A and B are shown apart, each in its own frame.
Chain A
């Protein structure tokens, strides 16, 4: 795949080059919070161990989804914050960016969440996320040796 570059760790963040050396990390979660896939290409600072990192990421997204739905100015019906939502209510956010990274997120109705952390000046990543989801379907879901809900090897 030309989108992802090599995996060297460097202390300062490289600017996006013409060859597209953009991505920092990728996570894929399923609806139960199990991290199916984690890949990193360029992550200078690691603060937590892998388990806690995944839980933190999943919790962050879950809460952000809930928060964005409750703050939606166009929706009619609002429950209390923290109440589990029915799948059809509420909008879903797709990215946020800080001064050092941008996090893009895609969730399917079946609960598969794909997260890509990239350089902050990356454009809208919804199409690439859909492309990754298609790859997931083609190679993981259709693989008869893969049990749904376990780590992708």
Chain B
């Protein structure tokens, strides 16, 4: 049987089990609120959100690969396109655009026009350093690490801080090839 072609983000989004968007937003807001109360330091909360995102990403990649049937991406450009078009659509219902490629093709920006995590959210003055959506950067980092790409993901623009859109910068640090894990003499 010929292999199944990769499905588009819309098709998968239609098939996947969905939750109420407001429930999702409010739950995420409650998580961030609780982290702020427990940890108090904005930097600590940022790091914790990133770590939580990393743990999610490590598992999310398998679900993504199983549902979307994408095969190995040939290069980082294709990877970024797949994340923006299929990944974001499948899990959050939004599409991102990929812009700002640098000369070597190792760094790009994903721009999100709307973001379901931040509906109804305003940042108070005491939390100005908070990256509210830092969980997303952790998810992307975790997922890419499981497909042998070490990346660094940072927020460039954040609407909660007054910019006009959400922009994530994804930088490929290196590709880690699979190695034989056992020592030869054992």
Contact = CB atoms under 8 A, between A and B. Distances in A.
Contacts of A86: 148, 175, 177
A148 B67 CA distance: 19
Q: How would you classify the secondary structure of chain A's contact residues: helix, strand, loop or mixed?
A: loop
Interface residues of B, number: 28
A127 B1 contact: yes
Contact of A59 (B178, B179, B182): B182
Nearest to A149: B58
Nearest to B70: A109
Interface residues of A, number: 28
Interface in B120-148: 146-148
Nearest to B69: A130
Contacts of B175: 86-87
A33 B181 contact: yes
Interface string B1-24: 101100000000000000000000
Interface stretch (B71-79, B95-103, B110-118): B71-79
A87 B147 contact: yes
Given A59-B182, A137-B63, 19 more contacts: A31-B146, A55-B182, A55-B186, A84-B180, A87-B148, A88-B72, A88-B73, A88-B74, A88-B75, A109-B65, A110-B61, A110-B146, A126-B3, A130-B66, A136-B62, A136-B66, A137-B66, A137-B67, A141-B62
